[in-house]
Structure 1
Amino acid sequence: MAQKSDIEWTDATWNPVTGCTKVGPGCDNCYAERFAERWRGIPGHPYEQGFDLKLWPPRLRQPALWKKPRMIFVNSMSDLFHKEIDRAYIDQVFDAMEDADWHVYQVLTKRSSLMRNYIRKRYDGGPVPRHIWLGVSVEDSAHISRIEHLKQINSEARFISFEPLLGAIGEVDLRGIAWAIVGGESGPRARAMEEGWARQLREICARDDVAFFFKQWGGPRPKSGGRLLDGEEWNGFPWQIVPKPILDQLSA
């Protein structure tokens, strides 16, 4: 079954794929890799293979078995658009999300062009179902092309995770993005995030009408630096894009 999540911006995680490979500096101190590699070689453990890529077809039915609506982070321990994942398997993941449409699914990738190309083919240029949210991770200004790829997807539910934020993003147009999550890196080799980088993104979000969520400063542990930016918590959430039937059930 999918697991209850400690991640502040979701309710649960669902991992029909585990394992990944690095594609940029945001991956250098990957929390998922660090966790998975602790169990490498332990017979019978779900991470016996460490952080090597693995598909889990038996998990495809899990969302349908979970009857209460949830915000579900898809592949918290992988990237659904990894180049070694066959399109037919990605189809099965999307089939599962479409079938169990009483949940909201949050799909996050660093492989933004592959996601864009897949979505265009699957929906033939039409809109993505509103309960499937598509997002990209952007760690610094060198990777803002991922935002442009995201904007080329026909969806109201686009979001960006600026975590770990490793440098100033600079002037960027976030119009058409529903939600931005900002956070510093955590773990034993965490790189520091500067206040100015987070403030700039907060100002851009206010200008471009994007819900702004400040997740953490980071440090040795996720909660080491707390969640206050300029003395406040910033818990922006794009409630306007949650489909009404799901919103009604989540609010009940």
Structure 2
Amino acid sequence: MKTVLMIPARYASTRYPGKPLAELRQKDVTVKSLIQMTWEAALQVGGIDAVHVVTDDDRIRNAAEGFGASVLMTSSEATNGTERCAEALAQVDADLIVNLQGDAPLTPPWFVEALIDRMKDDTTAQVATPVLRCDRQTYDMFIEDRKAGRVGGTTAVFDTNLHGLYFSKEVIPYMAPGKIPDPVPVFHHVGVYAYRPDALRAYMSWPEGPLEAREGLEQLRFLENGATVACVEVDARGRLFWELNNPEDIARIESVLAGA
């Protein structure tokens, strides 16, 4: 199965303009852009035949080519990473497309490898995406963001077959304060996807649905149109996972990098 990994990146983020070029300091005090760190994370994934940064912005293209990345250009009409991957599909030959979004440099390679394995084993799944059970620290970060009025990470709920039921920027399921079980029954959705090419083509034929529009979550378009999204539970193996959603997240990610 020929597998191509794409890193969709746009400059004009509503919440954080220029986010792919935001600089982060690592343990050895080296400073790298978010898009470069994500590219380097992608190169650690096994079973990938090619890696491309996918963008419509010349600033991102120039930065990516500057550190040796392959770049596929798309139109400025793409409204999210899935649409950008779908546009780029015409430029590659692949049986499986992996979308590693450009704001998740802490994504371990085994998260992505688990998706590839699931898509090989589950022929009914049109899309696969990782979910990570929250530890108390991550759960508290979710609650802290919501109390501060920040839209942070995404949570997921799924059925007994690990097929996605819903994804939300709210913390679901609800738990009363002071009654948080251990382990915490909240799953952090990791913004990585594996798609079959036909699923990407179908996605482009569907209009944005009301749930996708309200939540601002691209994967809800699949659920709103009856497509099966397989949730793959992954293990962080003691590492803290967080995405760069807001400027405040830089300090969180740099603290993880400092201890890496």
Bin the TM-score by the shorter chain: under 0.3
> TM-score scaled by structure 2?
0.27
- Name the structure, 1 or 2, with higher relative contact order (CA <8 Å, separation 6+): 2
TM-score by length of 1: 0.28
Higher strand share: 2
